[in-house]
Structure 1
Amino acid sequence: MMSIKALLAKPFAKYIHNSVQKWANNPIKTQDKVFKHLISEAESTLFGQDHNFKNIHTFEDFVNQVPVRDYEELKPYVLKVVDGEENILWKGKPLYFAKTSGTTSGAKYIPITKESMPTHIEAARNAILLYINETGNSSFVDGKMIFLQGSPILEKKNGINLGRLSGIVAHFVPKYLQKNRLPSWETNCIEDWETKVDAVVEETLPENMTIISGIPSWVQMYFEKIQDKTGKSVGDVFKNFNLFIFGGVNYEPYRAKFEQLIGRKVDSIELYPASEGFFAYQDKQNEQGMLLQLNSGIFYEFIKADEFFEDAPKRITIKDVELNVNYVMIISTTAGLWAYNIGDTVAFTSLKPYRVIVTGRIKHFISAFGEHVIGKEVEQAMKEATAQTDIRISEFTVAPQINPESGLPYHEWFVEFENGPDNLQELISKLDKSLQKQNSYYYDLIVGKVLQPLKITSIKKDGFQDYMKSIGKLGGQNKIPRLANDRKIADKLYALKVTK
């Protein structure tokens, strides 16, 4: 029999669905309202004064006054905020800093304000409610839910709390979910990732788990430990587990492995959260892409990825985006980020409503020979090449081999197989053909004998985990880049290859 909580979830889900439809069906008007609100609220800040906000009335004015910046370029303002100064990027002081490990700048401090914090919580909540409204399935609200995340212990810096985003969010779990939520506070505070996952396994094994959430690579470790401990599939251990919520990386390369670990298919919801904002979530089970959050205090701009490194690339709003074009996403937010390049590339899968997929990172690509291969392309190639086979991949990354011992240069794929191919050459051929089909530059380089077809280097079991541990980035919000334009990662992985 359905509980009161599960019954009440359905009308609330319907109400939220209707409210989301209102702004999703009026996207241009919604974004225009967000834009005007941002400019007027920040007019008297130091940034607003420096960039003449009082004379910004149109998007064109904004483009003329406010250049696109990444964290390094915005850092002089951010450091003033970190030092405790008020009214710098946004009115007053932020509530929190989300501390992230930047690749070039060491620690990054991303402000989270009184205005921006609720949008993170609402988007995560609405993703689940839209799922309930679409499927009619609300029984999972009675079971236990696990959110694998960073430690909720926060430090203070000049009176402002700072920590990882997932740890900050842990302080805002709604009261009605507190009883259902795992792991315990004590377990969540364990810093060492492997120790933490072991503790999570112990806490969750006796429970009625219905939702499991986290970055796929972390959840995979959790699932494998459950299987090792019980000798059963995850689906047998947690018979009512029917919803997997994930974000941070593309799930497709993990899907076959997860279905094997679980022992059956479960529904999934993809999220697109970041320290800088909660940008999108999957709103339909059978539609590709995630609904772009146009009503969350974030104003979006887009620059074609192919043009991004030109001197003055054209900046456009959602009004002018096209389907299936690779864009760098630029944001301005109620946290005081202005024309800010978060480094992600996205493509639109739908314009009514606006849905996106994350295609990679603008800095994560291979163009050692002018091919500009992106994350989405290598993931699509792997998906196509392993479809309708028994091959299962634990993890992979790709790097150029510019100076091979013999022959032409090539792309080297480092692959950790859960279940390897009977015929490695056949897999290589399928991967290469898929990549040529997707990327005309790569095709030309292969046909023109500038590159030879890709090669695969097999990595030993848990090799990627060993690599992440060796650089102090196991767990947390850390993930392996899908590809790189250099061999920094590749050369370290080479020591972890399978030796025959």
Structure 2
Amino acid sequence: GHYKASKDVLSLYYQYHPDSVLLTGKGLVIGGSHNINPMNAEAQYGDLSAVLLQNSPFWGHWLRTPDLSIALMDEWESKIEKLAESTIKENVTSISGVPTWTLVLFKRILEITGKQTMSEVWPSLELYMHGGVSFTPYKEQFQKLIGKEINYLEMYNASEGFFAAQDIPGSEGMLLFTDHGIFMEFMPVSEYGKKEPQTVSLQDVELGKNYALIISTNGGLWRYLVGDTIQFVSLKPYRIKVSGRLKHYINAFGEEVIVDNTDKAIAIASNITGAVVNDYTAAPVYFSESANGAHEWLIEFEKEPGSLEIFTKELDAALKSINSDYEAKRHKSIALGLPVVHAMKKGAFTEWLRSKGKLGGQHKVPRLSNDRTMIDEILKMNLSTFTTQ
């Protein structure tokens, strides 16, 4: 299914870019590691991207960089160095990978070459394929580091299946792949946690409603809950967007904030204040005897705003405009106070991932959490530089 969907993505791209030179160069794939299970010499496990790389057809290796031995490395700091050194002289026309690690690679390549932009290193670069996290907070950095206009294509490609991809450049939503060996059901998020949750079939879905995706596949999964939440943005044809994760939300006070809300709010606040955000996470601050609740944000800036206080107010205003439940809880600060925002040291989230043994690959910092476990762990590492109160 993943290979079929990959061919479909390529076909969709050429439909709108018939003069593309994509296949005259190589695709840089920033995939995961690949380990051998010591319990069974015949069983292998690792990030799906790495499994796919190792089992791709022979002709696929002609169109891809880096060498398989580098692509499947485990240790990510060494891997980034090897990736940079081995791909600088290649004619890279496309890149696919998680935005955070792609940015790390870009910056290292620019350090090595002394160039100002990636278009000077790879003049034929024309396409970046992304997925896994919202690209909204990263797009400005990509445009700056690449130094020219290129095409961006969003995909919904998970370990369990390749579900959708953007079929029209620049449009919202990804075309749902309905004939790739996956039977899909859609569970309204309000059903999550119930003893007998109800699902709807594709013909009964509604626009703009949050659903959890449930799949049965020819790979052996049966009514498997993927864990992502999606919204339909079109019904003819069926197009979706990923709105968040079932477990990644804040609803400590009835505000029902999801990742789609916070990604948009971060983008709005950044645009107004001139900030550039690398990564972020947020969690609730619970009621105390002396104060109401709030949301606490840890934000790693590539470019800090001139005033963190102004950024915080704009972030708050954006969330109010996006989420009416949040706005209601913020009214006169009766339930929720102004957010508490920490500007984190560069590399703060990388340090936390390293401490958890999750550095690299498809590992990402959860955007939102409904408890304080993770945020308190990060705060204890003393990686903030400035905090609003």
How would you bin the TM-score normalised by the shorter chain? over 0.9
Q: Give the structure 2 partner of residue 343 of structure 1.
A: 227
Paired amino acid for 1:417: F
Q: Kindly indicate whether residue 388 of structure 2 is the aligned counterpart of residue 497 of structure 1.
A: no
Secondary structure (helix, strand or coil) at the match of 1:212 reads strand
Which of residues 208, 217, 221 is equivalent to 1:333? 217
| CA 445–275 in structure 1, closer or farther in 2 if over 3 Å, else same | same
Deviation at 1:266, TM superposition (A): 1.5
Alignment of 1:60-209 (within 5 A): 119-155=1-37, 157=40, 159-209=42-92
Q: Aligned equivalents of 2:291 and 2:14: distance in 1?
A: 56
Deviation at 1:152, TM superposition (A): 4.2
Paired amino acid for 1:203: S
- Contact 2:273–2:310 (8 Å) recurs in 1: no
Alignment of 1:259-408 (within 5 A): 259-387=143-271, 389-402=273-286, 407-408=291-292
Q: Aligned equivalents of 1:129 and 1:257: distance in 2?
A: 28
Q: Aligned equivalents of 1:207 and 1:297: distance in 2?
A: 36
- Contact 1:396–1:413 (8 Å) recurs in 2: yes
Q: Give the structure 2 partner of residue 439 of structure 1.
A: 323
Q: Aligned equivalents of 1:196 and 1:336: distance in 2?
A: 33
Deviation at 1:456, TM superposition (A): 1.0
Q: Aligned equivalents of 1:202 and 1:222: distance in 2?
A: 10
Secondary structure (helix, strand or coil) at the match of 1:348 reads strand
Which region of structure 1 is more displaced relative to structure 2, 155-164 or 132-141? 155-164
Higher helix share: 1
Secondary structure (helix, strand or coil) at the match of 1:296 reads coil
Which of residues 346, 351, 355 is equivalent to 1:466? 351
Q: Aligned equivalents of 1:461 and 1:446: distance in 2?
A: 30
Deviation at 1:447, TM superposition (A): 1.0
Q: Aligned equivalents of 1:157 and 1:439: distance in 2?
A: 50
Which of residues 471, 476, 479 is equivalent to 2:364? 479
Q: Aligned equivalents of 2:136 and 2:364: distance in 1?
A: 15
Paired amino acid for 1:176: W
Paired amino acid for 2:68: W
Secondary structure (helix, strand or coil) at the match of 2:138 reads helix
Q: Give the structure 2 partner of residue 213 of structure 1.
A: 96
**Identity of aligned pairs, percent?**
38
Deviation at 1:442, TM superposition (A): 1.5
- Contact 1:400–1:486 (8 Å) recurs in 2: yes
Q: Aligned equivalents of 2:265 and 2:335: distance in 1?
A: 21
Which region of structure 1 is more displaced relative to structure 2, 457-466 or 395-404? 395-404
| CA 195–161 in structure 1, closer or farther in 2 if over 3 Å, else same | closer
Q: Give the structure 2 partner of residue 224 of structure 1.
A: 107
Secondary structure (helix, strand or coil) at the match of 2:60 reads helix
Paired amino acid for 2:32: G
- Contact 2:216–2:222 (8 Å) recurs in 1: yes
Deviation at 1:159, TM superposition (A): 4.7
Deviation at 1:323, TM superposition (A): 0.9
- Contact 2:230–2:244 (8 Å) recurs in 1: yes
* Cα deviation digits, residues 114-146 of structure 1 (max 9, x gap): xxxxx1111122112211111213312111211
- Contact 2:342–2:386 (8 Å) recurs in 1: no
Deviation at 1:325, TM superposition (A): 0.8
- Contact 2:165–2:176 (8 Å) recurs in 1: yes
* Cα deviation digits, residues 60-99 of structure 1 (max 9, x gap): xxxxxxxxxxxxxxxxxxxxxxxxxxxxxxxxxxxxxxxx
Q: Aligned equivalents of 1:309 and 1:269: distance in 2?
A: 34
Secondary structure (helix, strand or coil) at the match of 1:450 reads coil
Q: Aligned equivalents of 2:368 and 2:296: distance in 1?
A: 10
Which of residues 429, 432, 440 is equivalent to 2:313? 429
Which region of structure 1 is more displaced relative to structure 2, 284-293 or 425-434? 425-434
Paired amino acid for 1:215: V
Structure 1: give runs of 5+ residues left out of the alignment: 1-118
Q: Aligned equivalents of 1:433 and 1:307: distance in 2?
A: 30
Secondary structure (helix, strand or coil) at the match of 1:342 reads strand
Deviation at 1:424, TM superposition (A): 2.1
* Cα deviation digits, residues 316-347 of structure 1 (max 9, x gap): 01101111111111111112212211111000
Structure 2: give runs of 5+ residues left out of the alignment: none
Q: Aligned equivalents of 1:120 and 1:154: distance in 2?
A: 22
Q: TM-score normalized by structure 2?
A: 0.93
Q: TM-score normalized by structure 1?
A: 0.73
- Contact 2:185–2:199 (8 Å) recurs in 1: yes
Q: Aligned equivalents of 1:137 and 1:174: distance in 2?
A: 25
Q: Aligned equivalents of 1:186 and 1:364: distance in 2?
A: 34
Q: Aligned equivalents of 1:310 and 1:419: distance in 2?
A: 44
Deviation at 1:480, TM superposition (A): 0.8
Secondary structure (helix, strand or coil) at the match of 1:324 reads coil
Q: Aligned equivalents of 2:248 and 2:56: distance in 1?
A: 33
* Cα deviation digits, residues 197-232 of structure 1 (max 9, x gap): 100000011111111110111111101111222232
Paired amino acid for 1:396: Y
Paired amino acid for 1:467: W
